[in-house]
Every structure is written in C-alpha cells, then in structure tokens.
Structure 1
Amino acid sequence: MKSKIFEYQFTVPKSAIDDMDHVNNVVYLQWVQDVAKKHWESKTDNNIRNTFVWVVLNHFIEYHHPAFENENITIQTWIDHHKGVKSERHTKIINSDTKKVLVTAKTMWCLLHKETLRPTRITDEISNLFL
C-alpha cells in the first residue's frame, strides 16, 4: 500500500541549530513527527481525529548530511504499509536547493482509540484516505 507522498517545506530556524552550528539530531526527530501529524491532519476530518490517535512504537533514523540555519528544507512522508494496528511511515528530509537527502527515517506507528487508548485495527476507511 505505498501512499502518495506528502510534502512540507520550510526554512531552518535559528532555534534548530546546536553547538556545532548545524541542525540538532533531536530536531530532525521532531520534524519527522511534525510532518506525520501534518499528513494525518491533511487527510482526516475532526470526527476521525476525535476518535483515533497515533503513538510511536519505534524510529529508525539515518543522518546523511547536515542542515544549517536559513536553508530551505523539503520533508516528504508516506505510508509504506500497514497491518492490523501498525503502520510503517517513511520520511525523507531534503535540502530543497541542492536536492541532497539529509535524513531518512522509518517510523512504526500504532493506532489507538482516543477514548480508551487501546490499540485499534486500521480500517479501510482510514487506509483509503492515504491512497
């Protein structure tokens, strides 16, 4: 089930820069989570978002090149596949100007029913939103 790629673009803020004068690795992780949320919110309505919530089971991140303040960034994310209550999402963080891939990430998410916080099967209704 590879979904369509969702993209988000922005400029690296000063607040993302660490003592080595490049984007801190924790910031990249935050961006991975932020773009997943933006993708979810772009495809779902309030009813779905008030019924379900996602939690991270694990992240696998590879750092390929550093990013610096004021660089233009494109983040791409897509759902590679899902089964039962789990969904594997991939993310690519790219320098928009040079097209260099800065970071790649793979995250396993688990869908929960928001009221009970119990894992719940990913329905066709939800899956079809991302095709």
Structure 2
Amino acid sequence: MKDIFQLEITVKPEDIDNLNHVNNLVYVKWMDKIAFEHWSYLTRKNPLPQYIWVVLRHEIDYVKQAILGDKITVQTWVGETRGFKSERFMEFYKNKELLVRAKTVWGMLDAKTYKPSRIRENVLNVLQPPK
C-alpha cells in the first residue's frame, strides 16, 4: 500500500486561461507545491537541509477540465527511488473524478555543491518508511 499525501486546492481566477479552464502550467505549479509540502511533512521531525530536489522530467496526462471555483484534491506518493533519482506520482481529482495524472522524476542534489547526491538510507527511510 502506498503512503498517500493529500492537499486541497480551490481554483482561483488567476488559474484560469482564455479557454475558461485551469491552465496546464498551473498544474505544474501545483505539482511543485504539493511535492514541496510533502517533503516538508516527511522531514518535519528530522530536517535534511543538506539536500535539495530538482525536476528532471514531467509526464502529465490531462484527462478532464477544472474550472473557476472547483475544489481539487491532489494526491501524491513516492515511487521507485534509486541512485540520485526518485519518482513521484500525482493525481488531481474533482469530486472523486480524475482530472490529471502525472509522474515527475526528481533528482537529489547536494545543497552546497548542486551536484547529484546518491540517495542513501537516511533519505530512503523518509521517502519510503519501512513497513
């Protein structure tokens, strides 16, 4: 069973494009927000400031539209993690109806050198706690 982290978002006027639905760039912004909030939640008791994360790849499937005022539930969980890369999956729902499905591959860097840093047990235990 995957450990799911959830965030609620209400669509605001600045999220809407000229087609009167949430702009695709807004979803990317939300993906960054929930990833940051999930990492902050996971490291709340044991911060790991020696590492930073950068996006290496996004894959996004836009299934349905969201419009002004919609209440969106975003769910995220961590997938395969090895080397210096970690997958993160996200799903955006409106009333339990899937709107967007995404996968992001993140790279972990050393916060001082900005060079890739191998994900070791201390980080792996945060991302994928032992059951």
Question: Partner of 1:109 in structure 2?
Answer: 106
Judged with a 3 Å threshold, the aligned counterparts in structure 2 of structure 1 residues 129 and 58 are, in CA distance, closer, same or farther, namely same
Structure 1 position 123, deviation (Å): 1.5
Q: Which runs of 5+ in 1 are unaligned?
A: none
Distance 1:103 1:58 in 2: 16
Q: State the one-letter code of the partner of 2:113.
A: T
Judged with a 3 Å threshold, the aligned counterparts in structure 2 of structure 1 residues 3 and 126 are, in CA distance, closer, same or farther, namely farther
Instruction: Give the 3-state SS of the residue equivalent to 2:32 in structure 1.
Output: helix
Write the deviation string for residues 77-125 of structure 1: whole angstroms up to 9, x where unpaired: 1111111100011010111x2x111000011100001001010011211
Question: Partner of 1:14 in structure 2?
Answer: 13
TM-score (norm 2): 0.92
Distance 2:93 2:100 in 1: 7
Distance 1:64 1:47 in 2: 36
Poorly superposed stretches of 4+, deviation over 2 Å: none
Count of residues in Structure 1 that have an aligned counterpart in Structure 2? 127
Distance 2:80 2:10 in 1: 30
Distance 2:83 2:126 in 1: 16
TM-score (norm 1): 0.92
CA-based RMSD of the aligned residues comes to 1.3
Q: State the one-letter code of the partner of 1:79.
A: V
Instruction: Give the 3-state SS of the residue equivalent to 2:20 in structure 1.
Output: coil
Identity %: 39
Q: Which runs of 5+ in 2 are unaligned?
A: none
Structure 1 position 47, deviation (Å): 4.0
Distance 1:60 1:94 in 2: 17
